Amino acid sequence: MSSGIRSAPRLGLVLGVLLLTLFAARAVPSSAAGEPTITNLNPSSVSTAGGTVVTVTGTAFTGPPTVTVDGVAVTASNITPTSLTFIAPAHGTTPAPVIVTNGSGPSAPMNLTYVDPPAITSISPGTGSAAGGTLVTITGTNLLGTTQVKFGTTVVAASNVSSTSVQATSPAHAAGTVDVTVTNSIGTSANTAADDFIYTPAPPSVTGLFPAGGPIGGTTVVTVTGTGFTGATGVTFGGTAGTALTVNDDNTITVTAPAHAAGTVDVIVTTAGGPSANTAADNYVYGAVPPTVTAVSPATGPITGGTTLTITGTGFTGATGVTIGGTAGTAVTVVSDTSLTVVTPAHAAGVADVIVKAPFGFSANTAADNFTFSAGPFVTGLSPAGGLPAGGTVVTITGTGFTGATSVTFGGTAATAFTVVSNTSITATSPAHAAGVVDVVVTTGLGTSPTTGTGDDFTYGTGPTITLISPTSGPIAGGTTVTITGTGFTGATAVNFGAVAATSFTVVSATQITAVSPAQGNGVVSIRVVTPLGTSADTAADDFTYGSGSTVSFVLYFRWTLIIWTGKAGVDIQTALKGLESPDNPTTNDVSGIVTAIFHYNNPLQKFDGFFPGSAGIPGANDFTTFTKGEPYWIAINQSGTVTWITLGD
């Protein structure tokens, strides 16, 4: 019993301790971590107008905590044990202490700085062009740290920022008044009358005139192109007002030029935005005359178009177009102030006017600009374009409208024979005719082809001949200018050095051509001139030597001769035997008729290879086909005695 009585106090003591512990645990508030602390305010400066979200960082933000700003309670949000946010209330420019309080008490205060937001007191200049580009100085207070400037809703960059001024360049904007605002970390300036910027209409710009000149007496109707012409009130030519002003649209004005002294003047357009700036595009030349057409060649072409016309006249510099019968030609090329070319369009049969458009206007219509579109046959080319006086040359005639052709004549003499291949091609055999140039004419049921200048010209005569070349040699790299003298060079289509075309050539006259030699190997070649009447014959007078033109001589003995080949490496055996090496060498001689066999020892295969000229059927014949420099060969000839064999060297 006694032990049980003694245990009761102990049990009570334990229970008491447990109860005390539980009571103490329940009595400790959630802020047992201690009083809160503030370590940072972000931002630390706010507008006196309030409204800025401030983030507070620190410790023991539990409870939940309460926040006051200079004694004024604010609502805390986004609360964690180490941070919270609140919206700054309006306040004067004096520092405002921020205090966070939890169940353990308040934090030490941290001051929040209040600053007035930026304010604009004036802008200069207060107006600018709708085109933008005006540098504006903005004056006010608290402008330091300005990060952007707005003209209306358009943001532009700030420059030269200080506490009392900032500069910005106005952007483009429609005419009217906009508010200018500045923004920094504290806020954005309020809208007041002091920040109004007035956009005035942009001045017009002139980009072109047509025509760009006219007589000193005026009366020329000028089309002015550009921008910003809406509402134009005047156009002046060198300070003198034009008449009959019509604003067609924002980009086009027509106006009649006034009288003015000869010379170049500026054409200025005036609108509510002011006068257009002076540029080269607005130059108008008094005393200028439009282009003139004095001739077109050929004067006739097919209705299908495609004829290349050469137009002769004046004032073609800067020409931008040509019409034939009102339809634009293509591929207009200004050759000079007095010549241009154009390709005719398709057009109905008949006579059409050729009109040139140049900077100073259109050419006037005269008989000289007439071009006839032909519905009948039309000859555009001949191949070849020449032949012998005896006739017999088969000529391909190209053109249009050949279907149903009933005759083909050469200078009025009927072709020996002709065949209509298609509507665009005929083959005809030239008749005999005296030397000279004649027209080839095709006749169908729709008429006779007109003479067109050069397209239908056929030349009767002899082919070209070469009587002299100078110089007669040059380096293997080519580049030598050779003067070729002879006859019949007119219309030459090619000059060849051996089998290689000249790098370039120029027909100086019927008896002279200059040609630049192409690169070739060492040796002698024949220069040949090609014309529609044929190719010059190969004679000693046309030989041109590349490099040294060296040759090698071998003495061949009856029956067998051993030689070491020192001639041109890799030359074809048959070619070397016949003296026809390429390039041609007229000093080499033909021994193919007396050489019956050639043997060469094939060292890798340890056997003899044989070559038998003209005998491919013999077993083992023609095992090799070229000579190799430095190799031995046994050559058999069927001629008694000896013969000297000359071949081309390297």
Continuous segment of H or E residues that includes residue 26: helix 2-27
Length of the chain measured in residues: 650
Q: 205-286: which CATH topology?
A: Immunoglobulin-like (2.60.40)
Residue 611 has what pLDDT?
92
CA dihedral 458, 462, 463, 466 (to 10 degrees): -140
pLDDT digit string (tens) for 491-539? 899 999 998 999 999 999 989 999 999 998 888 889 999 987 888 988 8
> Is the confidence at residue 23, as pLDDT, over 50?
no
Q: Which CATH superfamily is domain 378-460 in?
A: Immunoglobulins (2.60.40.10)
pLDDT digit string (tens) for 195-237? 999 998 889 999 999 999 999 999 999 999 999 999 999 999 9
Q: Given pLDDT bands bounded at 50, 70 and 90, which one contains residue 358?
A: very high
> Is the confidence at residue 284, as pLDDT, over 90?
yes
Mean pLDDT of 596-609: 91
Taking a C-beta distance cutoff of 8 angstroms, is the pair 322, 331 a contact? no
Closest by CA position to 181, among listed 90, 131, 117: 117
Taking the CA atoms of the chain, what radius of gyration do you get in angstroms?
51
For residue 455, CA distances in Å to 308, 452, 495 come to 11, 6, 23
Q: Kindly state the tokens that stand for 251.
A: 């980009």
Report the 10 Å Cβ neighbour count for 433. 18
Q: How far apart are CA 650 and CA 648, in angstroms?
A: 7
Closest by CA position to 513, among listed 538, 539, 488: 488
Q: What is the mean pLDDT of the chain?
A: 89
- Find all residues with CB under 8 Å of 297, minimum gap 6, and list them: 309, 310, 312, 453
Residue 616 has what pLDDT?
63
Report the 10 Å Cβ neighbour count for 5. 8
Taking a C-beta distance cutoff of 8 angstroms, is the pair 92, 73 a contact? no
> Is the confidence at residue 618, as pLDDT, over 90?
no
Taking a C-beta distance cutoff of 8 angstroms, is the pair 143, 162 a contact? yes
Task: Determine the Cα angle at 441 with ends 436 and 445, to 5°.
Answer: 165
What is the 3-state secondary structure of 417-445? EEEEEECCEEEEECCCCCCEEEEEEEEEC
Residue 15 has what pLDDT?
38
Taking a C-beta distance cutoff of 8 angstroms, is the pair 171, 154 a contact? yes
Report the 10 Å Cβ neighbour count for 576. 21
- Give percent of the chain above pLDDT 70: 94
Does the domain formed by 37-115 have CATH 2.60.40.10?
A: yes
Higher pLDDT, 185 or 395: 395
Q: Kindly state the tokens that stand for 556.
A: 């061949």
Residue 8 has what pLDDT?
40
Q: Show me where the domains of the chain are located.
A: 1-28, 37-115, 119-200, 205-286, 292-374, 378-460, 465-546, 551-648
Taking a C-beta distance cutoff of 8 angstroms, is the pair 377, 440 a contact? no
Domains 119-200 and 292-374 fall in the same CATH topology: yes
Residue 33 has what pLDDT?
61
pLDDT digit string (tens) for 292-321? 999 999 888 888 888 899 999 999 999 999
Q: Given pLDDT bands bounded at 50, 70 and 90, which one contains residue 26?
A: very low
Q: Out of 12-16, 134-138, 466-470, 538-542, pick the least confident.
A: 12-16
CATH architecture of the region 119-200: Sandwich (2.60)
Q: Please enumerate, as own/partner, the contacts of 218-222 that have beta carbons within 8 Å and a separation of 24 or more.
A: 218/256, 218/257, 218/258, 218/259, 218/260, 219/256, 219/257, 220/256, 220/257, 220/361, 221/254, 221/255, 221/256, 221/257, 222/254, 222/255, 222/256, 222/257, 222/267, 222/284
- Find all residues with CB under 8 Å of 37, minimum gap 6, and list them: 58, 59, 60, 107, 108
Q: How far apart are CA 141 and CA 143, in angstroms?
A: 5
Q: 292-374: which CATH topology?
A: Immunoglobulin-like (2.60.40)
Q: Given pLDDT bands bounded at 50, 70 and 90, which one contains residue 10?
A: very low
> Is the confidence at residue 351, as pLDDT, over 70?
yes
For residue 614, CA distances in Å to 292, 306, 314, 422 come to 73, 55, 70, 47
Taking a C-beta distance cutoff of 8 angstroms, is the pair 442, 405 a contact? yes
Q: Is the dihedral of CA 304, 308, 310, 314 positive or negative?
A: positive
> Is the confidence at residue 444, as pLDDT, over 80?
yes
pLDDT digit string (tens) for 248-267? 999 999 999 999 999 999 99
> Is the confidence at residue 481, as pLDDT, over 90?
yes
Q: Out of 87-96, 331-340, 422-431, 534-543, pick the least confident.
A: 534-543
- Find all residues with CB under 8 Å of 258, minimum gap 6, and list them: 218, 237, 240, 241, 242, 243
Taking a C-beta distance cutoff of 8 angstroms, is the pair 38, 111 a contact? no
Residue 31 has what pLDDT?
39
Q: How far apart are CA 203 and CA 459, in angstroms?
A: 66
Instruction: Supply the DSSP string of 475-512, one letter for each residue.
Output: -TT---EEEEEEE--TT--EEEETTEE-SEEEEEETTE
pLDDT digit string (tens) for 49-82? 888 999 999 999 998 999 999 999 999 999 999 9
Residue 139 has what pLDDT?
97
Q: Given pLDDT bands bounded at 50, 70 and 90, which one contains residue 453?
A: low
Q: How far apart are CA 230 and CA 204, in angstroms?
A: 9
Higher pLDDT, 362 or 532: 362
φ, ψ (nearest 5 deg) of residue 7? -75, -20
Higher pLDDT, 501 or 28: 501
Q: Kindly state the tokens that stand for 205.
A: 């710009």
Instruction: Supply the DSSP string of 572-583, one letter for each residue.
Output: BHHHHHHT--SS
One-letter identity of residue 605: L
Q: 465-546: which CATH topology?
A: Immunoglobulin-like (2.60.40)
Continuous segment of H or E residues that includes residue 24: helix 2-27
Residue 621 has what pLDDT?
83
